[in-house]
Chain A
Amino acid sequence: MTERVKEQLSAFLDGELPEAEAALLLKRLDRDQELRAALSRYSLIGSVLRSDGDMPAAHGVAARVRAAVAREPRPGAWPTRVYRPVAGLGIAATVAAVSVLLLQPRTEPPLQASAAPELAAESGVLVAAADPPAALVTEPEPEQAPSYTTPPAVDGPGTLPAAQFANYLVAHSGYTSPLARSSVVAGLIAADDPVTDASGVPRHVVGERR
């Protein structure tokens, strides 16, 4: 994602991007793998739409995005399987999620005094996702599957600092069943760098099973 696109998105979300440019931007989202991957990696949609005042910036943004999407002539052109993770929420929510990500760097994450700032900023533990763990159905089998990694943590006012979440996870892992512990720890020590498969399409929820 270039600086130019980031600026466009930012302007768009601030309601300052001319309509013609906004339409182009939405089209770009349609075909930009990296942008789509970013959307899929972050599961902030729920936080944005369900936020009860804890993410004040998000409300206006979501409304602006909804309005923009209402003007967008062909939202149905978005590839279904990419946006299945946000099924029912649609394009507006997805773009709203981007807005939160882009707006985050402007705010300092709240930190515990003794917590490590750099961990809080980007520990690799996802801290702002209100979505339930996404159902996962993928073929081929896991060992042939492309690797995905935890996105950098996203912090802002009202979200649990990543460092604290990581500490809680470590503390909690001592009280889980052995099998569950592997799962919990896997989430904790997940790596940072995202990797997409050849098509660039993030694999997320791609369907239901049984």
Chain B
Amino acid sequence: MNARRRLAAALLLLAGPALAADRTGWLERMDRALAGSSYVGDFVSESAGRSQKLRILHRVEDGQVRERLISLSGHGRELIRTGDEVVAYLPDRKLAIIEKRPGSGQLLGVLPRFAAAPAPWYEVIEEGREAALLGPAVVVTLRPADGFRFGYRIWIDEATGMPVRSELRDPAGRVVERMRFTSLAVGGTIPEADFEPAIDPAGLRWVRQAPTPEPASVAWQAAQMPPGFRLSVNGLQAVAGTQGLVNHLVFTDGLASVSVFIHAPAPGTPPVVGSGRAGVASAFSTVVRGHQVTAVGEVPPDTLRYIATGLQPAGSDDQP
């Protein structure tokens, strides 16, 4: 009896590390499926009192990623991503916004992914299996350890690794956003023509990044960061609609990410101080040393405030 108990204890000890090693197994599978496979699906996104239907087309061909997201419930707004360039079409406003992510080479391994959710800050729990859209799905919960980040509950299709359903939860466990595929086809080929915008681009006004005239201004650094977050990108970038260069800093805890945009205010423009929100993304604006600082990200608003108010010009020892 005693020996059996000892054996059971030993087995448990052995099982512990094995389970830990597999902590992110399904999440890795999902990351690979999302980034590396081709798929077409319709999904419903529900947040902040709004429910909208969207279609996603994602194609990986010869290492080139193309993605198209179309709003099915409104005026046909859509967003088309080709490699590092993204174009948002807003036909109801007769506008198109073009944005190019600079220097993609440096980004390898930096882009957030679910398998990179760091252990102390997210508890990963495999809840079990449930019938879902495509068949049995593994339900995985990522529970945040503090109030600086959101949690997730994801239904991962066993056969394809695709997240057929997901919930974004606030630190208290309440659902902030719910996403659910109503149809999804994985694999196969998607013709090039499907990545053309449905609207006639000819009648649109284009908002693009301004050419970059002056070299650079001040470098910025974070005096305080939420635990587990690190700086992953720090550069100057042109942002559509903003004159001059913008300091763009990206902070990530491996899964969640926050962008901070810093620029000198345009002459005659009143400073912006306050918060905003679009879907699950929030924004927080403040002024630091005469510069406009805006943090944007899919994290709780307090996290944005914490990061934004802690920024200061590099070399400055002052407390924020």
Enumerate chain B residues within 8 angstroms of A145, measured Cβ to Cβ: 44, 46, 51
A49-102 CB contacts (< 8 Å) to partner B: 51-52, 54-55, 85
B 96-137 binary contact with A (CB < 8 Å = 1; else 0): 010101000001000111100000000000000000000000
Q: Are B276 and A148 in contact (CB under 8 A)?
A: no
A159-B277 CB under 8 A given contacts A171-B239, A171-B248, A171-B261:
no
Q: Are A190 and B52 in contact (CB under 8 A)?
A: yes
Complex CA gap A204/B84 in Å reads 35
A127-B178 CB under 8 A given contacts A113-B266, A149-B52, A172-B297:
no
Q: Does more than half of chain B's interface fall in helix, strand or loop, or is it mixed?
A: strand
Q: Are A189 and B88 in contact (CB under 8 A)?
A: yes
Cβ distance A49 to chain B, nearest Cβ, rounded Å: 13
Enumerate chain B residues within 8 angstroms of A131, measured Cβ to Cβ: 277, 301
B 3-30 binary contact with A (CB < 8 Å = 1; else 0): 0000000000000000000000000001
Enumerate chain A residues within 8 angstroms of B205, measured Cβ to Cβ: 116
Interface residue A29 (Cβ < 8 Å from any Cβ of B): no
Q: Are B298 and A180 in contact (CB under 8 A)?
A: yes
B68-106 CB contacts (< 8 Å) to partner A: 69-71, 73-75, 77-79, 84, 86, 88, 90, 92-95, 97, 99, 101
A172-B281 CB under 8 A given contacts A135-B170, A136-B175, A160-B276:
yes
Interface residue B163 (Cβ < 8 Å from any Cβ of A): yes
A160-192 CB contacts (< 8 Å) to partner B: 160-161, 163-180, 182-192
Q: Are A188 and B279 in contact (CB under 8 A)?
A: yes
Enumerate chain A residues within 8 angstroms of B273, measured Cβ to Cβ: 52, 54, 158
Complex CA gap A187/B298 in Å reads 11
Interface residue tally of chain A, by bracket? 35 or more
Q: Are A43 and B277 in contact (CB under 8 A)?
A: yes
Interface residue tally of chain B, by bracket? 35 or more
Residue from A47, A136, A188 with most neighbouring chain B CB atoms (10 Å): A136
Interface residue B307 (Cβ < 8 Å from any Cβ of A): no
Enumerate chain A residues within 8 angstroms of B255, measured Cβ to Cβ: 177
A84-131 CB contacts (< 8 Å) to partner B: 85, 110-116, 118-119, 122-131
Interface residue A5 (Cβ < 8 Å from any Cβ of B): no
Choose among A135, A165, A183 the residue that contacts B283 (Cβ–Cβ < 8 A): A165
Complex CA gap A147/B174 in Å reads 21
Q: Are A138 and B270 in contact (CB under 8 A)?
A: no
Residue from B152, B261, B274 with most neighbouring chain A CB atoms (10 Å): B274
Q: Are B111 and A148 in contact (CB under 8 A)?
A: no
Enumerate chain B residues within 8 angstroms of A138, measured Cβ to Cβ: 46, 178
The number of inter-chain residue pairs (CB within 8 angstroms) is 328
Interface residue B275 (Cβ < 8 Å from any Cβ of A): yes
Q: Are A177 and B90 in contact (CB under 8 A)?
A: no
Cβ distance A50 to chain B, nearest Cβ, rounded Å: 9
Cβ distance A132 to chain B, nearest Cβ, rounded Å: 5
Interface residue A208 (Cβ < 8 Å from any Cβ of B): yes
Enumerate chain A residues within 8 angstroms of B277, measured Cβ to Cβ: 43, 126, 129, 131-133, 187
Interface residue B179 (Cβ < 8 Å from any Cβ of A): yes
Nearest CB in chain A to that of B233: its residue: A175
A 6-48 binary contact with B (CB < 8 Å = 1; else 0): 0000000000000000000000000000000000110100110
A183-B274 CB under 8 A given contacts A119-B90, A172-B296, A190-B279:
no
Cβ distance A186 to chain B, nearest Cβ, rounded Å: 4
A 184-210 binary contact with B (CB < 8 Å = 1; else 0): 111111111100000000111100111
Complex CA gap A40/B48 in Å reads 10
Complex CA gap A210/B153 in Å reads 13
Choose among A135, A149, A208 the residue that contacts B50 (Cβ–Cβ < 8 A): A149
Q: Are B257 and A167 in contact (CB under 8 A)?
A: no
Interface pairs (12), CB distance under 8 Å = A115-B242, A116-B205, A123-B93, A125-B276, A127-B276, A163-B207, A170-B97, A171-B248, A175-B233, A180-B257, A188-B77, A190-B278
Which A residues have a C-beta under 8 Å from some C-beta of B? 40-41, 43, 46-47, 51-52, 54-55, 85, 110-116, 118-119, 122-138, 141-143, 145-150, 157-161, 163-180, 182-193, 202-205, 208-210
